[in-house]
Amino acid sequence: MNASPAVARQLRPLGQSGKLANVLYEIRGPVAARAAQLEADGHRILKLNIGNPAPFGFDAPQTILHDMLAALPDAQGYSDSRGIYPARRAIVSRYQEIPDFPRFDVDDVFLGNGVSELIMMTLSALLDTGDEVLVPAPDYPLWTAATSLAGGTPVHYLCDEQDDWNPSVDDIRAKITPRTKALVVINPNNPTGAVYAREVLEQIAEIAREHSLLLLSDEIYDRVLYDGARHVSTAEVAPDLLVLTFNGLSKTYRVAGYRSGWLVITGPTAHARGFLEGIELLASTRLCPNVPAQHAIQAAVSGHQSITELIGPGGRLSEQRDVAWSMLNAMHGVSCVKPRGALYVFPRLDPEVHEIRDDVQLCLDLLEREHILVVHGSGFNWPAADHLRIVTLPGERDLRTALERMGNFLAGYRQ
**For 149-193, what is each residue's pLDDT tens digit?**
999 999 999 999 999 999 999 999 999 999 999 999 999 999 999
125 has a pLDDT exceeding 90:
yes
Q: Rounded to whole angstroms, how far apart are CA atoms 4 and 72?
A: 57
3 has a pLDDT exceeding 60:
no
Question: pTM for the full model?
Answer: 0.93
Tell me: the pLDDT tens digits for 184-221?
999 999 999 999 999 999 999 999 999 999 999 999 99
* pLDDT at res. 372: 95
* pLDDT at res. 128: 95
Q: Rounded to whole angstroms, how far apart are CA atoms 343 and 346?
A: 10
Residue percentage of the chain with pLDDT more than 90: 84
Indicate the pLDDT class of residue 60, thresholds 50, 70 and 90. confident
* pLDDT at res. 4: 53
5 has a pLDDT exceeding 70:
no
β-pair type (344-345, 372-373): unpaired
* pLDDT at res. 303: 80
Kind and range of the H or E run holding 137:
strand 132-137
Q: Rounded to whole angstroms, how far apart are CA atoms 345 and 31?
A: 19
Q: Mean pLDDT throughout 109-123?
A: 97
> Is 217 in a helix, a strand, or coil?
strand
> Is 255 in a helix, a strand, or coil?
coil
Q: Rounded to whole angstroms, how far apart are CA atoms 256 and 249?
A: 7
Tell me: the pLDDT tens digits for 319-331?
999 999 999 999 9
Q: Phi and psi for 248 in degrees, rounded to 5? A: 180, -170
Q: Mean pLDDT throughout 120-143?
A: 96
1 has a pLDDT exceeding 80:
no
* pLDDT at res. 75: 87
* pLDDT at res. 6: 55
Contacts of 326 (CB under 8 A, 6+ apart): none
Average predicted confidence (pLDDT) for the chain: 93
Tell me: the pLDDT tens digits for 69-115?
898 888 889 999 999 999 999 999 999 999 999 999 999 999 999 99
* pLDDT at res. 194: 98
* pLDDT at res. 313: 92
Q: Rounded to whole angstroms, how far apart are CA atoms 319 and 240?
A: 40
